[in-house]
Structure 1
């Protein structure tokens, strides 16, 4: 079983030690580095290139939001799990919009954190129902037709226009029209953002 290389970016010593203890006890996890502030976190990410980074948002010198933005700018494929005391919808929304693939609060269990890391490592997003609920509160309703809802579900699965056409039994040209309409109604600039919005608004659900 291939190990998941994890970088911890957390300023509180005891919290960092607790994370290390919980995660390093699992055979699939290898803690490759620990940073106690945002500036060090960015530098360590550059040098270590971990599979997954676990990031706190409240950090000295450089905030977690700035770390997230900088790392994602330099490494667009970076897989980052937010672990924070912040529970407000705006914080969750901002983190997800900035590229975080998972958002957990610090009262999450070790098992849930491990599951989030494993999902993110596989390229999947992980947002607990509580986080999705808070996001849904701040998002306006989206009025999709039944066909557009089907197209959106296919988009969240990563299907191409051709694959959507085959799945729904419609012309590829028609799919392009539906995709354009879905993005417009959701205020999304691309498919990735539409997927994030769909999860936030509860329009689709992760299996």
Structure 2
């Protein structure tokens, strides 16, 4: 089994040691580096290019929010898991908007953290129900038709218009009309943002 190379970006020494202890005990995880502030975390990521970074949000020098945004701009395939003491809807929203693929609070179990890392490594989002519920509180209701909901589900799976047409048995031109309507109703600028909003609002659910 190929190991997942993980970078820890956490300013509290004891928390970092606890993370190291929990994760390094799993055969699939290799801790390749540890950083105690945001600036060092960004530099270490550039040097090591880990498969997954576990990032705290409240970091010295550069905040975790900015670390995530900077790395996502520089490395479009950067995969990051947030592990934070904070579980307010705005923290979760900002982290996901900036590019985090998972959000856990620090009372999460080691098994849940491992599960999040494994999912994110596979390119999947990992947002526990409590995080999705918090996000839903801050988002206005969106009413989609049954067909638009089907199209949105396909969008979240990364399907192209042609693939959506084949999946739903409709014309590609019709798909384009539905996609445009979905983005407009959700206030999303593109498919990626629509996917994030869909998960936040509970319009689709991760398997």
TM-score by length of 2: 0.99
Large movers: runs of 4+ above 4 Å: none
Superposition map of 1:2-151 within 5 A: 2-151=2-151
CA distance in 1, matches of 2:146, 2:67: 40
Counterpart of 2:158?
Answer: 158
Counterpart of 1:192?
Answer: 192
Q: Deviation of residue 134 (structure 1)?
A: 0.2
Q: Deviation of residue 190 (structure 1)?
A: 1.0
Q: Deviation of residue 169 (structure 1)?
A: 1.3
SS in 2 for 1:68: helix
Of residues 52-61 and 63-72 in structure 1, the stretch that sits farther from structure 2 once superposed is: 63-72
CA distance in 2, matches of 1:10, 1:120: 19
SS in 1 for 2:27: coil
Q: Per-residue CA shift, 1:82-125, capped at 9, x if unaligned?
A: 00011100010000000000000000000000000000000000
SS in 2 for 1:2: coil
CA distance in 1, matches of 2:163, 2:63: 41
CA distance in 1, matches of 2:139, 2:171: 32
TM-score by length of 1: 0.99
RMSD: 0.6
CA distance in 2, matches of 1:67, 1:160: 30
Q: Per-residue CA shift, 1:145-186, capped at 9, x if unaligned?
A: 111011111111111111111111111100000000000110
SS in 1 for 2:83: strand
SS in 2 for 1:16: helix
CA distance in 2, matches of 1:35, 1:166: 46
